[in-house]
């Protein structure tokens, strides 16, 4: 199995790159984000590779990092997500943003991917929710709070404060993060109005 390729960029198309490694041109399928980040033809590049072997073909998928390749594998453990959809998701959201979206259960962010509808986005954030925090750059307290809100277990003042910020136009993950910070600062007995004021201050930073 091929795990990594290092060579010179021969050509780049909408779907793949031809990487010249010692005179052999490898066709490597990449996400749109990866293809846009590659250097110009003739310049050196290194790609982490996922090799698919089928009866009638061998297909290579390339990634800028091992973490991105790991997400490619993880995404395909979700029902209804194949290689094409996994590449599309990674083309829309870089690994850290994807991890954050899943950790905070931000289905809307995942659904921005072309070809990914609400049902598939729901499955992605649900089935990978226990794996995302390990990759995410999110305060674990925010993840727990977001989960509590999702399952209607958040304290009433907290839930009301987040709802108020959402009504003001903020996204659910941003509102949850701000109120989580506000709740830590104000303590468990804080009232809704106080949490809203502190949450707005957090969002203004």
Tell me what pLDDT residue 162 has. Answer: 83
CB count, 10 Å around CB of 201?
13
In tens, the pLDDT along 56-69 reads: 889 999 999 888 99
For the chain, percent helix, then strand, then coil, each to nearest 5?
Answer: 50, 20, 30
Q: Would you kindly state where each structural domain of the chain is located, as residue ranges?
A: 4-63, 66-134, 140-204
Tell me what pLDDT residue 160 has. Answer: 87
Question: Among residues of the chain, what percentage have pLDDT more than 90?
Answer: 41
Opening angle at CA 86, ends 83 and 89, nearest 5: 150
Architecture of domain 4-63: Beta Barrel (2.40)
Contact 154, 144 (CB under 8 A): no
Evaluate if residue 81 carries a pLDDT over 60. Answer: yes
CB count, 10 Å around CB of 187?
8
How far apart are alpha carbons 47 and 69 in whole angstroms?
10
What topology is assigned to 66-134 in CATH?
DNA polymerase; domain 1 (1.10.150)
In tens, the pLDDT along 129-187 reads: 777 655 555 555 554 555 444 444 567 888 888 888 888 887 766 777 788 778 878 87
Q: What is the mean pLDDT of the chain?
A: 84
């Amino acid at each position: 199995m091929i795990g990594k390729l290092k060579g010179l960029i021969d050509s780049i198309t909408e779907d793949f790159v031809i990487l010249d490694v010692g005179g052999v041109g490898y066709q490597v399928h990449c996400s749109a984000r990866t293809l846009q980040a590659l250097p110009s033809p003739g310049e050196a590049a290194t790609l982490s590779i996922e090799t698919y072997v089928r009866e009638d073909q061998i297909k290579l998928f390339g990634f800028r990092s091992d973490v991105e390749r790991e997400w490619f594998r993880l995404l395909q453990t979700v029902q209804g997500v194949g290689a094409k959809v996994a590449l599309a998701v990674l083309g829309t959201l870089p690994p850290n943003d994807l991890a954050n979206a899943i950790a905070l259960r931000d289905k809307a962010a995942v659904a921005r991917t072309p070809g990914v509808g609400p049902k598939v986005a729901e499955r992605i954030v649900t089935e990978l929710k226990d794996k995302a925090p390990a990759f995410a750059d999110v305060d674990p307290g925010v993840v727990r709070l977001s989960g509590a809100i999702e399952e209607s277990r958040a304290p009433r003042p907290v839930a009301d404060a987040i709802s108020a910020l959402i009504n003001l136009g903020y996204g659910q993950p941003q509102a949850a993060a701000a109120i989580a910070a506000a709740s830590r600062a104000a303590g468990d007995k804080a009232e809704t109005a106080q949490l809203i004021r502190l949450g707005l201050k957090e969002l203004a930073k």
